[in-house]
């Protein structure tokens, strides 16, 4: 049986409850993303917020990921309707929307991913998302396969978490640990214990809403802790961090003692 070209496997797996293990792609070019795509992760985050990625860069990474059993998630640079439209048109189906602080912002993010009359996504029939017009009924089915994840990374977002999670069309809630800690006046290493408590409490609050929770950490023990707490989608590494760490360790291994 032919594969359904519109089916969003990440969204379906998230609804089943996970856990889904992910990896953060920030490096320029496609080779690092292709290596990660074949490494065995469930999902890859293609970042355009803290990475110099253009729409063309995202397109190429989506094309690379399509050849592997991995689900791409794309993070726009901002909760911006035009930016979101362009990412959807090149084939992104799952979006991680940064810095959502209010119900209104969450609703705007969802609306940007839906076609009228329910949303504000611009209509075009020959995009890569529709296989350049080759998918019958794309406009009728596209909305139901879009997955919207929102990031909580400020005190305001935390205060409004329950209401944000309840917005129709929000499929998951992601903790932005670094920004959330900074917005709450906490810094490393002095406030490590308070940051840990803040993050774990936020994950518990997300779980209480009934929506899947997610987070990024490069510390294995933390990732395992969050999974034990029930986090449904956890990113456990960042390509640039791994390259920097391993390159430095290799160079130092050959320095004179």
Q: Which among 5, 15, 38, 50 is annotated as catalytic? A: 50
Q: Report the Cα 169 to chain-centroid distance in Å.
A: 15
- Contacts of residue 152, defined as CB under 8 A and 6 or more positions apart, other chains included, come to 100, 158, 161, 164, 173, 174, 175, 176, 180, 202, 206
Helices (H), 25-154: 31-37, 55-65, 81-89, 103-112, 138-145
The H or E element containing residue 238 is strand 233-238
Backbone Cα Rg of the chain: 18
Sort strands 170-175 and 213-216 into parallel, antiparallel or unpaired: parallel
Question: Active-site residue 146, yes or no?
Answer: no
Residues designated as active site: 50
């Amino acid at each position: 049986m032919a594969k359904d070209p519109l089916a969003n496997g990440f969204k379906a797996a998230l609804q089943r409850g996970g856990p889904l293990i992910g990896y953060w792609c920030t490096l320029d070019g496609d080779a690092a993303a292709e290596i990660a795509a074949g490494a065995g992760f469930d999902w890859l985050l293609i970042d355009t917020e803290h990475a110099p990625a253009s729409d063309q860069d995202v397109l190429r990474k989506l094309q690379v990921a399509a050849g592997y059993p991995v689900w791409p998630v794309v993070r726009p640079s901002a909760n911006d309707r035009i930016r979101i439209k362009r990412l959807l048109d090149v084939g992104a189906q799952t979006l991680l929307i940064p810095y959502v602080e209010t119900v209104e912002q969450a609703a705007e993010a969802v609306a940007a991913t839906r076609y009228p009359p329910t949303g504000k996504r611009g209509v075009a029939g020959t995009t890569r998302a529709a296989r350049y017009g080759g998918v019958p009924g794309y406009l009728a089915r596209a909305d139901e396969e879009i997955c919207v994840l929102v990031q909580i990374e400020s005190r305001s977002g935390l205060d409004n978490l329950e209401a944000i999670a309840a917005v129709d069309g929000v499929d998951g809630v992601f903790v932005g640990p670094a920004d959330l800690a900074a917005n709450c006046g906490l810094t490393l290493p002095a406030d490590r214990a308070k940051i840990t408590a803040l993050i774990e409490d936020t994950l518990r609050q997300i779980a209480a809403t009934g929506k899947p929770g997610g987070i990024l950490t490069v510390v294995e023990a933390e990732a395992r802790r969050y999974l034990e707490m029930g986090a449904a989608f956890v990113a456990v590494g960042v390509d640039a961090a791994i390259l920097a760490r391993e390159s430095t360790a290799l160079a130092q291994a050959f320095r004179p003692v």
